[in-house]
Structure 1
Amino acid sequence: MSDGNNNNSVSVAYFDSLPQKFSEGDADALLAFGRHLHWGYWSDPTKANGSVADFAVAAENLSRLVTDVAEVQDGLSILDVGCGFGGTIATLNERFCNMHLVGININKEQLSRAETTVQALPDNHIEFIYADACQLPFPDGYFDVVFAVESIFAFSSRENFFKEVRRVLRPGGRLTICDFIPIQAFYRTWKLIEKAIKTLIVRTYGSRSVNFCPVFEYKKLAEATGFELVKTENITSNTLPTYPVVNSLMRREGDEETYRATRGLERLSRRGLLQYMILCFQVSPP
């Protein structure tokens, strides 16, 4: 992904530069990422047409799929951690009623856009709050469902995040995440690669480095923090059409280095070494 710079400007990570792109009238950036800051989902990847408009629909479909996996229904209290521009909150707002919806983020520009563009429908209540994923500013047992849609890899500590989510969830509550997950056989190799390309990753994705976690580590983490992993969905093949669209958007910025970061993710994904998965955890019974 491109950092949005040219040869004469200061390097800015692509996603960090999106608010400026929107204000400058970048129609493709707005259509692709103005609502959702995550990959797309195609139920039939062969029907993807490579357009930005098609990707925007697919990104909405991913949010819908995640809420379906979490078995969301009317009348719930839901937290979206790393809410971006509020896209998943917007989807929940449009699909369900009598909802208490809260999005948190540490990016104030993203929160500002979310507050401006996502308005609660009748009978729903929406809040956007500046807060850290590992220090949730909510009382115990406050939520029914927590989401982290393609954001957990940037949190400072998965363990602290899981502990905080366990605290704020009610009995039987669910945590549902989307994440890039390396297969176990590739995990050791990835840790070596990650050190070598850390600067490139940060230049592309922002100030927090991307770190990956295999499923076996998630299972251990869940057990240690009072959860059980109840659902896993490998949707890698359904997300692959994301890459031609996103790569095109990044490359047109003219920064080949950051373009290569997402091309690297694509190669790992197409080779089956890195999987895009939805994981659903439930609070363990007492």
Structure 2
Amino acid sequence: MIGFVGIALIFVMVFGGYLAAGGKLGIIMKSLPFEFMMIGGAAAGAFVISNDMAAIKHTLKDVGKVFKGPKWKPEDYRDLLCLLFELIRLARQNPVGLEEHIESPADSAIFTKYPKILGDGEGVALICDTLRSASMNYDDPHQVEEVLEKRIEANLHHALHSPHAMAAVSDGLPALGIVAAVLGVIKTMASIDQPPEILGKMIGGALVGTFLGVFLAYGLVGPFAAKMKSVIEEDGHFYQLIREVLVANLHNHATNICIEVGRQNTPSHSRPSFSDLEEALKEVKSDAA
């Protein structure tokens, strides 16, 4: 919702200020379709040239993050801590019984309690792979932490390709606006024998290209790229929380301490309070009993 508000504010302030200063939209509206065809088409073509099909689809899909915001909400972080609590407690009480849950999460009575987390393949794989490795005595906390850190960084680097691609388009839009403006000037020079009032409109139409390139770059595409990056980095905290809890487990801290480490490493705006988490863990314990 806030994304739509921002877009509306941009258009109202820019064009409202122009109209309030005595400007007329006629010349802009007349030139806009042709200028947008040149600038937008060239930007789209450059985007296609510089990215493969998978990256193009991924970027278009990630545009929705501007309006949806982060995938993981405060209740999801609480659910993740409860899930990890159950798995760690089971791993310590019945290591053999853990195998069925980490080998087939889709059929696990524990994972199916948290369908949103279960639907995230990378999060589930991160949990299951780490617990499986620990069961095979690959349990040096420093080595495991390094491996998890590299894996999370690699996934984040891949996810950030979308905002980087959008930012590259944003950087090129002002120059493409100049290209469109130059073409407009060329068209004007070919009609140099026309009266001043006609030449004035033609020059004004040419300058719409410069305006449109800069407006799209700094008013829309650039902010879209920045918001996409912010949301992706925000969602990355979810996987960092998994790392912190599982590494704490390998240090042989008490299960409640491992979960508290995760709670304190949760972003402040999504962090469950100590009492809320305690209540949720009590429900988990009562269900297990």
TM-score higher than 0.5? no
Q: Which has the higher helix share?
A: 2
Q: Which has the higher strand share?
A: 1
Q: Which has the higher contact order (CA 8 A, sep 6+)?
A: 2
TM-score by length of 2: 0.21
